[in-house]
Chains A and B, each alone.
Chain A
Amino acid sequence: MKFMNATTGWSLLLLLALAFPFLAGNDYHLTVMSTAYIYAIATIGLNLITGYTGQYNLAHSGFMAVGAYTVGILTVDHQVPFWIAFFLAGVIAAAIGFFVGLVSLRLKTHFFSIFTLCVGYIMYLLIEKWESLTHGTVGIIGIPAPPNIGSIDFTEPRPQYYLVLFFLVASLWIMHRIVRSLLGRTFMAIRNGDDLAQALGINLMRNKLLAFMLSVFFAGLAGGLYAGFVRFIGPGVASVEHTFDMTMYMLIGGIGTLLGPLLGAIGVPWLTQYLQVLQDFRFVVFGPLLVILVIFLPYGIVGTWMNRKRRKEALAAQSAAPAARDINTLAAAKGATHA
């Protein structure tokens, strides 16, 4: 009856991703895909705090920059081995996230967003002006690539691709475990209503803070990967426009789903690749698209599809047992979208 279930779908996607280097025409395509994967990891993080927990963090690219600069500064200025610096990228982003979250998460709805917007700007300006630490506008040049493992050389595009893919798959798997767990349900309860969640005995602050730290941990790791992959970073990494980009990926694919942000983060860069005219002026098209999506398709591609499927199933269940209109099917029909 079912054409495809979740497991086969994900396995197919993984197979495609593994085969991609052999299908791709040239190294350039590999680079585009690897960059898309790195932003996908950061977007998955943003989706945790925004899509699942309902707090729109506009400093997300700032945290990605924290990760990137952690790797850049430690490896170039202090000769710390890459993998240690990479691990610290996530940890330091999460540690800063702890303090930022402690203050910002006391604010609700757009107050939180405005506050994080300001935090993002502070991060950006600090990176630009604190020359003794961050090299200022010049940026950090000559960041070492991840060291060879055996004979695998991570300066080559293909090993790089698989390395990034590995972290993407790991991120997705961890996110899947989180959203399927009681913790994920807790986050979604907070998204659906602060007061109701609190009435259920959920400690709002502690859970929001946890979601925030996990979210920026992903941003930090993505930043660390970015530093090791591009090997040059400037203050531009922290620019709020990257957060806007990620928002777009998240929204086009489907906010608050697992597959949606991934789809958006990979699909949109390819679209702009193929429409060369769009490169510089992509927002002339994507700006209105974002507005249209929010008005007409607020759950994105994946979210809309999931809702339709769920409604169909609920209807089928209803017609099969018209007397037993139990709460479960109704709840399933109305409940949070989740792929």
Chain B
Amino acid sequence: MILELFLQQVLNGLTLGGVYSLVALGLTLVYGILHVPNFAHGAFYMAGAYSAFFIMTKLGLNYWWGMLGAGVVVALISVLAERLVFHPLRKAPYLHHMIASIGILLFLEAGAQAIWGADFHRMDTPYTQLLEFGGLTLPAQRLLIIGAAFLLVALLQLFLKKTITGATIVAMAQNREGAALVGIDATRVAMLTFAIAGALAGVAAVLYAPINLVYTSMGNLVITKAFVIIVLGGMGSVPGAIAGGLIIGFAEAFGAFYISTDYKDIIAFALLVLILSVRPQGLFAKGAH
């Protein structure tokens, strides 16, 4: 019985960790390219959930179309934000980036509230079955989250490592001037990165929404935790975002079970405060920021 409870928490940790990793990956990619901490990323996540909700309830399409639609819509919003806001600000001080991204965040949240109201919505999923497996109850949606998250992470890794387009993103993250010198189009790479980041956030939201709920401020906690993750994992580091996502996911799942459900949301932040107090440069970061 103890072991089963333990395994149940492992499952919860993987679920949370998968969602957090997807969101944190987008955030860290954008940071790597532009050195912009994009506070609007949580609003992108929220926009993804609402897009899918709209597609499923108003257009009557199924869950998978909703997920695809959310990915496309949020990728578009994300690219638009890059073109209209972050590109003009690329030479401005860091404070301006942050305030501008907060402006986008506030706009998207208020926009969603204006259209859909402040109510909480439930998102239906075709995967409501409970799978029994040797005394373990495995909700199908959670297995879907875990499977999809790991598949996406693996695909992203292949894309970054094995394709030329992916390599341009890595090159630009490593050295902007160097990348420009060998003929990489910075504008194209920036747009591509924002599109990927947005799509990941949108898909993550649609995966997680059926077991959470859809509401306008649903992105706030997730984005704050994603920030914790990329600070822990090293800003701009892809493996760091995945590892950090899993660490926070597990810390929350086990913390909620063994310490207190009430304070489970504090765990991530307490961890960050603790780690940054001892190591101001983050867990995996090399050198100074």
Task: Give chain A's interface residues, CB within 8 Å of chain B.
Answer: 50, 54, 56, 103, 106-111, 113-115, 117-119, 121-122, 125-126, 129, 240, 244, 247, 251, 280-284, 286-291, 294-295, 298
Of the listed stretches B2-10, B100-108, B168-176, chain A binds: B100-108
Distance of A108 Cα from B99 Cα, bound (Å): 16
B106 to chain A, nearest CB (A): 4
- Name the residue of chain A whose CB is nearest to the CB of B36: A110
Main secondary structure of the interface of A (DSSP, over half): helix
Q: How far is the CA of A250 from the CA of B188 in the complex (A)?
A: 35
A247-B96 Cα distance, complex, nearest whole Å: 11
Stretch of B62-70, B110-118, B130-138, B206-214 contacting A (4+ beta carbons < 8 Å): B110-118
List B contacts of A129 (CB < 8 A).
262-263, 266
Which residue of the partner chain B has the closest CB to A118? B269
Query: How many A-B Cβ pairs are below 8 Å?
Result: 116
Would A247 and B102 count as touching, CB distance under 8 A? yes
Chain B, 81-113, CB within 8 A of any chain A CB: 84-85, 88-89, 92, 94-100, 102-111, 113
Q: Is the CB of B273 within 8 A of A115?
A: yes
B-side interface mostly: helix
A291, B85: Cβ atoms closer than 8 Å: yes
The answer to whether residues A114 and B37 also contact, given A122-B269, A281-B113, A295-B85 and a CB cut-off of 8 A, is yes
Residue B163 interfacial (CB < 8 Å): no
> Contact: A284 with B114, CB < 8 Å?
yes
Q: Which residues of B pack against A, CB within 8 Å?
A: 37, 84-85, 88-89, 92, 94-100, 102-111, 113-114, 220-221, 224, 227-228, 231, 262-263, 265-266, 268-270, 272-273, 276-277, 280, 289
A298 touches B107 (CB 8 A): no
Using CB atoms, name the residue of chain B closest to A117: B224
The answer on a CB contact under 8 Å between B110 and A284 is yes
Provide the residues of chain B in CB contact with A288, threshold 8 Å.
Answer: 103, 107
Separation of A283 and B113 alpha carbons in the complex (Å):
10
Contact B103 A122 (CB under 8 A): no
Chain B residues in 8 Å Cβ range of A251: 99
Q: Kindly report which residue of chain A lies nearest to residue B272, judged by CB atoms.
A: A118
Complex: chain A residue closest to B118, CB-CB: A280
- Contact call B37/A113, Cβ cutoff below 8 A: yes
When distances are taken between beta carbons in the complex, the residues of chain B under 8 Å from A298 are 92, 96
Q: Which residues of A contact B85 (CB under 8 A)?
A: 291, 295
> Which of B100, B106, B108, B289 contacts A286, CB < 8 Å?
B106
Is the beta-carbon distance between B273 and A122 smaller than 8 angstroms?
yes
Knowing A118-B272, A294-B103 touch, does A111 contact B263 (C-beta < 8 A)?
A: no
Among A107, A121, A247, find the residue whose CB has the most chain B CB atoms closer than 10 A. Answer: A121
C-alpha spacing A129/B95, complex, angstroms? 32
With a CB–CB cut-off of 8 A, which chain A residues contact B270?
Answer: 122
15 other contacts beyond A251-B99, A280-B113, A287-B108, with CB at 8 A cut-off? Answer: A103-B273, A114-B227, A114-B231, A115-B231, A115-B273, A118-B273, A119-B273, A244-B102, A244-B106, A280-B110, A281-B114, A283-B109, A284-B111, A286-B106, A289-B103
Residues of the B chain whose Cβ atoms lie less than 8 Å from the Cβ of A106: 280
Residue of B nearest to A113 (CB): B98
Identify the 5 closest CB pairs spanning chains A and B, nearest first. A287-B107, A290-B103, A283-B110, A283-B106, A287-B106
Of all chain A residues, which has the CB nearest B274?
A103
> In the complex, A119 Cα to B227 Cα: how many Å?
13
Q: Contact: B88 with A295, CB < 8 Å?
A: yes
- Bound together, the chains give a CA A280 to CA B115 distance in angstroms of 12
B257 to chain A, nearest CB (A): 17
Contact B94 A110 (CB under 8 A): yes
Kindly report which residue of chain A lies nearest to residue B223, judged by CB atoms: A117
Let me know if A56 and B103 touch, CB within 8 A. Answer: no
CA distance A103 to B103 in the complex (A): 28
Residues from chain B with a CB closer than 8 A to the CB of A290 are 99-100, 102-103, 106
In the complex, chain B residues whose CB is within 8 Å of the CB of A295: 85, 88-89, 92, 96, 100
Q: A103-B277, A126-B266 are in contact. Are A294 and B107 (CB under 8 A)?
A: no
User: Chain A nearest CB: distance from B153 CB in Å?
Assistant: 23
> What residue of chain B has the Cβ atom nearest to residue A108's Cβ?
B289
CB-CB nearest in chain A for B114: A281
Query: Which of these, A107, A125, A280, contacts B266 with CB under 8 Å?
Result: A125
Provide the residues of chain A in CB contact with B106, threshold 8 Å.
244, 283, 286-287, 290
A72 vs B99: C-alpha distance when bound (angstroms):
32
CA–CA, A247 and B100, complex, Å: 11
Cα distance A208–B72 when bound, in Å? 44
Residues of B within 8 A of A283 (CB): 106-107, 109-110
Residues A287 and B110 in contact in the complex (CB < 8 Å), given A114-B231, A118-B269: yes
Q: B94: which A residues are within 8 A, CB to CB? A: 109-110
Residues of B near A115 (CB, < 8 A) are 231, 272-273, 276
State A109–B270 Cα separation when bound (angstroms): 20
The minimal Cβ–Cβ distance linking B29 to chain A, given in whole angstroms, is: 16
Can you give 23 contacting A-B residue pairs, CB < 8 Å? A56-B95, A108-B289, A110-B97, A111-B231, A114-B37, A114-B227, A118-B228, A118-B268, A118-B269, A121-B221, A122-B266, A122-B273, A129-B262, A244-B102, A247-B99, A281-B110, A281-B113, A281-B114, A286-B103, A287-B105, A287-B106, A289-B103, A294-B99
